[in-house]
Structure 1
Amino acid sequence: MSRLRRMPRRRSYDQYCSAARALDAVGDRWTLLIVRELLAGPRRYTDLHADLPGVSTDVLASRLKDMERDDLATRRKLPPPAAAVVYELTERGRGLLPVLTALARWGAPALDERRPTDAVRAHWFAVPLMPVLAACGAGAGAGAEGVVEVRLDEGVFHIRLGGGPSDPSGRSDLSRPSDPSSPSGRDEVAYGDGPADAPDARLVLDADTCRALGAGTLTLADGVRAGRVEVSGDSALAKALRGA
């Protein structure tokens, strides 16, 4: 007679507290950083591993399984010609964006000095920068909806500002136009790695300036006036960011 396999008991703080319940799901090492990567859209396992230096393949696979179990992420196979398996956040997983935004702002003072062992990816600056751009772009009214491309020495990423509840500023939704490969008809991402196809505004700055903006120790207006931030583009969004 075959023996039934028993799933390992899920670790829990066993506290009737919403914070403890949240940490049951995302408190393990690497989980929130995986969420950070998936906020940029669907990612293959190999891409996740490449942008999470220091994580072992076993730990990454285990965390992804846990995230699927907890309805934070899901897997799907892309249609041909890609035919690759990707991981993406569920609606519940995308709801962690404000959590990561607050955590990034809280941790910003610790970035005063870059250690020799520190890895860096340009898109890691996206999460703390999003609420700054959303707040400044709000001055454009409806023109605040658009794509901002950000260029650092370390690389390029882009941030999507739109209208709905997912925006970390609390005013608008960060989503991109309809994507037929997305199961919901939309590829709901907060930001993307690499350049944008047709950005409404483009920012050029260095990593220290980007860190200061995210930490709140430098305003975008002061950065533009001091020549630390270059804003280009003719859209209403670009004009709002330039004159923030």
Structure 2
Amino acid sequence: MSRLRRMPRRRSYDQYCAAARALDSVGDRWTLLIVRELLAGPRRYTDLHADLPGVSTDVLASRLKDMERDGLATRRRLPPPAAAYVYALTERGRQLLPVLAALAEWGAPALDERLPTDAVRAHWFAVPLLRALSGPLDAAGALDTAEGVVEVRLDEGVFHVRLGNGGAAPDDGRPVYGDGPAPRPDACLALDADTCRALGAGALTVADGVRDGRIEVTGEGALAKVLRGE
């Protein structure tokens, strides 16, 4: 007599509550950090594993399958010569950006001390920095009309973020940030990790950082001039 194979029951809080339903999909350990990585664009499994130090291969594979099942991510094969599989966020997955940004802002005070065991990647500062750049630069609101690509240079590495009209991260399906230098940045910011953390926490504005010499802005485009307060 054959036996039907039962699929494992999806874990759920079994509560008719929007927050509980959301946590059914993204409440597992590592899921939101995978979202953080995929906000930079499609990533191969090996790249995700490299930038998520501490996650096991089994857990990463399981979380990615869960994200596909819940409509947060898709898996597709790149055309030759790459011929590799990559994971990418769906539109619903990209809608988690403001959730991550709010979570990063709330958790920023816990970054006051970097522990010897803490791993760090420069692009992990991208999401909170996007939030810092989404508001007006000064009382005149100059940044409200700015858009373009900002390259950010830290001692820990280089990443770039993309601003849409109004300073907010654009919602057009393209990556909102990327690891490494930008091909043609509209402005470049040079600062240290503590300054970048202060920006993300809301303890420092771009204008104050530039005025105090904590942020160096280079570039000749409109966005660079706005960031310099010109």
**TM-score normalised according to structure 2 size:** 0.94
Is residue 202 of structure 2 the alignment partner of residue 200 of structure 1?
no
Q: Quickly say closer, same or farther: Cα 1:27–1:174, change in 2 above 3 A.
A: same
Aligned mates of 1:4, 1:33 — CA distance in 2: 35
Q: Residue 95 of structure 1 corresponds to which residue in structure 2?
A: 95
Is residue 17 of structure 2 the alignment partner of residue 17 of structure 1?
yes
Preserved CA contact (<8 Å) 1:161 1:174 = no
Deviations 1:19-45 (CA, angstroms, capped at 9, x unpaired)? 000000000000000000000000000
Shift of 1:234: 1.1
Q: What does residue range 74-93 of structure 1 map to in structure 2 within 5 Å?
A: 74-93=74-93
Aligned mates of 2:201, 2:208 — CA distance in 1: 14
Residue type at the aligned position of 1:191: Y
Q: Residue 156 of structure 1 corresponds to which residue in structure 2?
A: 158
Preserved CA contact (<8 Å) 1:139 1:240 = yes
Aligned mates of 2:26, 2:48 — CA distance in 1: 17
Is residue 213 of structure 2 the alignment partner of residue 211 of structure 1?
no
Does the residue aligned with 1:83 lie in a helix, a strand or coil? Answer: coil
Q: Residue 56 of structure 1 corresponds to which residue in structure 2?
A: 56
CA RMSD of aligned residues (A): 1.7
Preserved CA contact (<8 Å) 1:133 1:241 = no
Does the residue aligned with 1:75 lie in a helix, a strand or coil? Answer: strand
Deviations 1:98-140 (CA, angstroms, capped at 9, x unpaired)? 0000000000000000000000000000000002223246625
Match of 1:189 among 171, 175, 192: 175
**TM-score normalised according to structure 1 size:** 0.89
Q: Residue 178 of structure 1 corresponds to which residue in structure 2?
A: none
Q: Residue 226 of structure 2 corresponds to which residue in structure 1?
A: 240
Q: Residue 115 of structure 1 corresponds to which residue in structure 2?
A: 115
**What count of residue pairs does the alignment treat as equivalent?**
227
Deviates more, 1:116-125 or 1:226-235: 226-235
Q: Residue 229 of structure 1 corresponds to which residue in structure 2?
A: 215
Q: Residue 173 of structure 1 corresponds to which residue in structure 2?
A: 170
Shift of 1:174: 4.7
Displaced runs of 4 or more, over 4 A: none
Preserved CA contact (<8 Å) 2:144 2:165 = no
Match of 2:142 among 139, 143, 146: 139
Does the residue aligned with 2:188 lie in a helix, a strand or coil? Answer: strand
Residue type at the aligned position of 2:184: A
Q: Residue 181 of structure 1 corresponds to which residue in structure 2?
A: none
Aligned mates of 1:136, 1:2 — CA distance in 2: 66
Identity %: 79
Aligned mates of 1:2, 1:124 — CA distance in 2: 50
Q: Quickly say closer, same or farther: Cα 1:192–1:174, change in 2 above 3 A.
A: farther
Residue type at the aligned position of 1:139: A
Aligned mates of 1:25, 1:150 — CA distance in 2: 32
Residue type at the aligned position of 2:215: V
Q: Quickly say closer, same or farther: Cα 1:174–1:147, change in 2 above 3 A.
A: farther
Aligned mates of 1:219, 1:133 — CA distance in 2: 9
Is residue 46 of structure 2 the alignment partner of residue 46 of structure 1?
yes
Q: Quickly say closer, same or farther: Cα 1:227–1:196, change in 2 above 3 A.
A: same
Unaligned runs of 5+ in 1: 176-186
Q: Quickly say closer, same or farther: Cα 1:220–1:140, change in 2 above 3 A.
A: closer
Does the residue aligned with 1:8 lie in a helix, a strand or coil? Answer: coil
Unaligned runs of 5+ in 2: none
